[in-house]
Amino acid sequence: MKFKKDMSIDEALRSHPDVINVFKKHNMDCLGCLISNSDTIEDAASLQGADCKSLLEDLNALFKEE
């Protein structure tokens, strides 16, 4: 699996148990927001001031570690 910027937050969260930890590392605290289910990774990163490229690298590293 590969995380992409147009993937929804909801889909990302369901794909791996450690995704939430990566979001927290990037100070993305919007995970409890109602719109987070429909927001893309890119949208959420932009709203939270996170670097989308760095976030995606960390997310994709989750599957490389397995």
State pLDDT tens for residues 30-54: 666 655 667 899 998 998 899 999 9
Number of domains in the chain: 1
Please give the model's pTM, rounded to 2 decimal places.
Answer: 0.87
In a domain, 56, yes or no: yes
Q: Across the chain, what does the average pLDDT equal?
A: 88
pLDDT at 66: 61
Nearest-angstrom CA–CA distance, 10 and 23: 12
Parent domain of 54: 9-64
Percent of the chain beyond pLDDT 90?
62
Each residue of 26-64: b (16+ CB within 10 Å) or e?
bebebbeeeebeebbbbbbbeebebebeebbebbeebee
In a domain, 3, yes or no: no
Nearest-angstrom CA–CA distance, 48 and 63: 24
